[in-house]
Every structure is written in structure tokens, then in C-alpha cells.
Amino acid sequence: MRARALAAPVIVGVAALLAWEVFVRVGRVAPFVLPAPSAIFQEFLRSFDVIVRTGSASGMNVLVGLVAGTLLALGAALLASRFGLLGEVSAPVVAAANALPIIALAPILNNMFESTSSIPRRAIVALVVFFPIFLNTLRGLREVDPTHTELMDSYAASPWAFNRLVRLPGAAPFFFTGLRQASSLGVIAAVVSEYFGGLQNGLGSRITAAASNTAYPRAWAFVVGACALGLLFYAAALLLERLATPWRRASS
């Protein structure tokens, strides 16, 4: 079952790559329109060191932004669930803010800091990851089983005990759903914000640089690197979720 679940996407992926290769070769597609996967792969191997180095720089931006944004979102969600009015007022504001293209702030933030600073990118990542984590966690904190409330009342449990034993663990699965969404969004935000000016140490800046030099296979190779980085963060979030919420794997 597990092997089959793994085999299906691998087969589809390989088939798609083959089709792409055949399409480019048979159709004589110009490399600046669409390079063949084999060309991208060669370029990926040749630039591997640079991809790893720039990928680590981007990864560090994602990590710092993700951690900062997560902590902020958790704190805000706790406050909003604790003070009902605050939650009611903030929910529509947060929903509206969530609809804004935060990425659009990148060039503006870049100009606010020195050109050698990584802060603007990390701030963008933190902002982008804030929303899914805040909204999911808040929902989890608010969804308490009425039976649990009565049970804790019957024990005359303190509000602190109620939060620690019922509300927080109950919200954990919601938080991790938010974190999973945030991990992918964070990588996108970091790479795209590197498209704009400032420090040239990330994957994003290499993608724009290669593309403007018409080195398309090279640009694609860095895109592959960005994909790998996204997968890495997603997998890490998934792993964290599995470790922290073991009861969810344990269904009959």
C-alpha cells in the first residue's frame, strides 16, 4: 500500500519529464522558450555548489522569518482567543490583510534597509506565514468540545488548567495545518522577495540574473533548487506535525 502510494506520483513525474524532453527535442523548441529537462539537469549538476550556497542563504531567510512569524501568530492567536472582543475586531482585519499581496511590499521594504541587509526578506516571510498560522490556530483555540468544558467544570478546574489541558492541546492539530501551509508560502515569499534589488545571496536573485543573461537552463536549474527548498520545508513541517501529534496517526 505504502509502496503503491509512493510509486504513483513517481511514475507520473517521470512520464511528465519524458514527455517534456520528447516535446522539446522533436518540436525543436528553442532553449530560451523552454529548455529540455536534460539541459536543466546538466546545468543543475554544474551549478550544484552555487545552488546549495544560495539555497542555504534563502533557507536561512525562510527559517528566521518562519520562526518569527510563527511565534507572533501564536501569541496573537492566544490573545485573540483570550479576549473575545479583540478576536472579533481582528478577524476581519486579518482576513483583509491576508488578501493583500504582501510580496508587493518587498521593493519598498528593501529600500527601508541597507542593501546588505537580510531583514526585509525575513520580514516578508514572517508577514506571509503569520496569517495561515494565526487563522488556523485561532479556530482551533475556539473549537472546544462542550463535553470537555463540562467535564473540567465538574472538576472545578482553574482557567489555567483548562487552557493547558484542553484548549492548547486541542488547538495543536489546527496549528500544524497552518504551519504546513506556512512552510510552503514562506519559501515562495523568500524566493520572490529576492527578485528585487538588495543583497544578491539568495536563489531568487540568481534566477533573475540567469534569466536576464538569457541563460535559461541555468535559471531553471535555480528554480529546481527553489522547488527542493520548498519540499524540504514542507517535509520538515510534516515531520514536526507527526512527532508532536502522535495520536492522529493512531486511528483504528
Partner 1 sequence: MIELSGVTKVFNAGRPGEVTAIAAADLSVAAGEFVSLIGPSGCGKSTLLRLIADLAPPTTGSVTVAGKPASAARKDRSYGMVFQKAGLFDWRTVQRNVELPLELRGVGKGERRRRAAAMLDLVGLAEFAGHYPAQLSGGMQQRVSIARALADGPPLLLMDEPFGALDEMTRERLQGELLRICDETGTTVVFVTHSIDEAVFLSDRVAVMTARPGRLTEIVPVSLGARTEEVRQSPEFFAAVTEVRRALRGPSVPVQAEQK
Work out which of 151, 227, 231, 239 binds partner 1, going by CB under 8 A.
151
Span 88-147, contacts to partner 1 by CB under 8 A: 145, 147
Angle between helices 203-212 and 216-244 (to 10 degrees): 160
For the CB of residue 41, give the shortest distance to partner 1 in the complex, in Å. Answer: 44
**Quick one: 31 or 170, whose CB is closer to partner 1?**
170
Q: What grid cell was written down for 209?
A: 540574473
For the CB of residue 135, give the shortest distance to partner 1 in the complex, in Å. Answer: 21
For the chain, first and last CA: distance in Å?
17
Work out which of 5, 10, 154, 212 binds partner 1, going by CB under 8 A.
154
Per CB under 8 A, 155 contacts partner 1: yes
DSSP 36: -
Q: What grid cell was written down for 223?
A: 528554480
**Quick one: 96 or 250, whose CB is closer to partner 1?**
250
Taking Cα atoms as reference points, which of 230, 229, 227, 224 lies closest to residue 39? 224
Per CB under 8 A, 50 contacts partner 1: no
CA-to-CA dists, residue 65 to 46, 182, 248, angstroms = 30, 10, 28
For the CB of residue 166, give the shortest distance to partner 1 in the complex, in Å. Answer: 7
Per CB under 8 A, 245 contacts partner 1: yes
| Residue type present at position 212 | S
For the CB of residue 178, give the shortest distance to partner 1 in the complex, in Å. Answer: 17
Work out which of 172, 209, 228, 232 binds partner 1, going by CB under 8 A.
172
CA-to-CA dists, residue 136 to 68, 111, 127, 131, 193, angstroms = 17, 32, 15, 8, 25
> Interface with partner 1 by CB under 8 A: which residues?
145, 147-148, 150-151, 153-157, 161, 165-166, 169-170, 172, 245-248, 250-252
